[in-house]
Amino acid sequence: MWERYSRQVILPQIGTDGQSKLAESRVVIIGCGALGSVVAGTLARAGVGHIVVIDRDFVELNNLQRQVLFVESDVGRPKAIAAAEGLGLINSTIVVEPVVKDVNQTNVELLIQDADLVLDGTDNFQTRLVVNDACVKHGIPWIYAAAIGTSGLVLPILPDGPCLRCLFPAPPPAGALPTCDTAGVLSTAPLVTAGLESTEAIKLLLGKGQEPRLVMIDVWDQTISTLAVEKAADCVCCGQKNFEFLTAEKEEIITTLCGRDAVQITPATPGRISLPELAAVLAPVGEVEQNDYILVFRTQGYEISVFGDGRAIIKGTDDSNLARSLYARYIGV
């Protein structure tokens, strides 16, 4: 039965009972970029039975340097769809569920319901704080992970704390943290970071998690260190149970995308739109490409990628006001 996993089953840390637990597990991976694609591939190969891959974006050529699930023919396709197809080729015996959505306070609780574990593959701190609130509220373990430049961080977060806000009580101010625009990313940094995240995931799914420690690595300097994280008695989230990132106003969400010269706009009330009908409307005023998942419209030096729920990524500017104006002018919803 376990021939596929024979080299894993003989490990004393796993065995046949552990392999059965993995097969019965459901994980949700939020973000399928450099970290998420490695974690998804690793857990699929490990035999995790149900993997939900959530990503808001589509594959670009510069992703191929570090996002290992994708190939050149995936460029222009939604990452979640391309990832699910790739994972199906890796392991056809598991269930892989792709979700093309932006995770935010309007949908996160629905998206993570029934998960045994949530894994961080995101590229921004705001989303992580939303996920932290939702997981603490619903008693779901999750793993925070980040990679930038040549370094990476991993922290398992258990339902009884400490949580992410014990480590970061307030969101870092703008400009306080390096971004892929300012620091770049060495392809091996997310690989090693995601390897640690995947290992912690397997341990948690097997019920063998340890006291939460923040692991810090630098692949260039070949250093690794750990920091014990203690629960803050006055933590707003896991202490006071004040989930302020979930209760934020459910209004239009505008996000500047790291390293993309692009802005994402998520409508306050997402709804289905007909991409073929929108393509017909836009064709007279610009260049249009459209498939089952996404419409790409190019005009006046801008590229507007529209998804079926009304969400759009406007490429060619990091000015949110200009992006909102372009959205209103051409999408109008």
**In this structure, what token pair is assigned to residue 108?**
């996160």
Q: Which of 253, 236, 305, 294 is nearest to 124 (CA)?
A: 253
Active site residue 180: yes
Q: Are 299 and 286 in contact (CB under 8 A)?
A: yes
Q: Are 50 and 26 in contact (CB under 8 A)?
A: yes
Which listed residue (135, 163, 180, 235) is catalytic?
180
Q: Which of 245, 263, 248, 246 is nearest to 168 (CA)?
A: 245
| Ramachandran sector of residue 69 (left: φ over 0; alpha: ψ -120 to 50; beta: rest) | alpha
Q: Give dist(CA 241, CA 132) in Å, integer.
A: 11
Residue 280's contacts (CB-CB under 8 Å, 6 or more residues apart) are: none
Q: Are 265 and 258 in contact (CB under 8 A)?
A: no
Strand partners, 185: 149
Catalytic residues: 180
